[in-house]
Chain A
Amino acid sequence: QVQLVQSGAEVKKPGASVKFSCKASGYTFTTYYMHWVRQAPGQGLEWMGIINPSSSSITYAQKFQGRVTVTRDTSTSTVYMELSSLRSEDTAVYYCARDHGAAGGHFDYWGQGILVTVSS
């Protein structure tokens, strides 16, 4: 069965960076694109970017350009997101979500989410 297992919660100070992971299993990792979505406390869902695990081609939401880096490791079927220059507004739950197809699809499976707290 398809599973996306994300790394544990993080607490960071403003200005720091955070890197977290999403390990996929139960399917061929390189066949399906992967998205990152975040949700601030009590707020809605915000799309951050997408990676093609096969080619490592990436598209970021313009809002996060220059501050976010998404990478992947095909040997471990893991996608990583690094967010730098953290500020309090980055406090959120970060989800990875699998694209139903080769991009242009909805999100059919989601990770459990990672709470990132930015506080001095």
Chain B
Amino acid sequence: DIQMTQSPSSLSASVGDRVTITCRASQGIANYLAWYQQKPGKAPKSLIYAATSLQGGVPSKFRGSGSGTDFTLTISSLQTEDFATYYCQQYISYPYTFGQGTKLEIK
């Protein structure tokens, strides 16, 4: 199975900040990488797919980059609604696997 490792596991930031979350795959996954946002008690929401493509309706403040084994999610100009948990996921091979999550909290 492909292991996905996110860092950091938690992150404190202020409104207006820019933050970066990293995701590393245990083997190359080309660009078969997605990012999801999850708020408490809610289903995950798709943000980024194919490593860099923005899901329809998602603001451009979310930016994905990377390919192969190393990927990043950058969120600019943080607003209160952005404080949530973020997961990366590989979908190049079964079983699809997720990172352990990064909880973004308000400082």
Q: Chain A interface (Cβ within 8 Å of chain B)?
A: 35, 44-47, 50, 59, 61-63, 95, 97, 100, 104-113
Contact: A62 with B91, CB < 8 Å?
no
In this complex, how many residues of chain B approach chain A with their Cβ under 8 Å: the count is: 22
Residue of A nearest to B89 (CB): A106
Q: Give Cα A44 to B88, complex, Å.
A: 11
Contact: A61 with B49, CB < 8 Å?
no
Supposing A45-B98, A47-B96, A100-B49 touch, asked if A108 and B55 sit within 8 A by C-beta, the answer is: yes
Contact: B87 with A59, CB < 8 Å?
no
Contact: A110 with B98, CB < 8 Å?
no
Contact: B97 with A47, CB < 8 Å?
yes
Contact: B87 with A44, CB < 8 Å?
yes
Supposing A44-B87, A45-B87 touch, asked if A106 and B46 sit within 8 A by C-beta, the answer is: yes
Contacts of A107 in B (CB 8 A): 34, 36, 44, 46, 89
Counting chain B CB atoms within 10 Å of each CB, which of A35, A47, A50, A105 scores highest? A47
Contact: B89 with A45, CB < 8 Å?
yes
Residue of A nearest to B46 (CB): A108
Contact: A35 with B45, CB < 8 Å?
no
Top 9 A-B pairs, shortest CB-CB distance: A106-B34, A110-B43, A106-B49, A47-B96, A61-B95, A45-B98, A44-B100, A44-B101, A108-B46
Nearest Cβ in chain A — how far from B54, in angstroms?
12
Contacts of A106 in B (CB 8 A): 34, 46, 49-50, 89, 91
Contacts of A59 in B (CB 8 A): 94
Contact: B44 with A110, CB < 8 Å?
yes
Q: Give Cα A100 to B98, complex, Å.
A: 17
Contacts of B36 in A (CB 8 A): 45, 107
Q: Give Cα A105 to B98, complex, Å.
A: 14
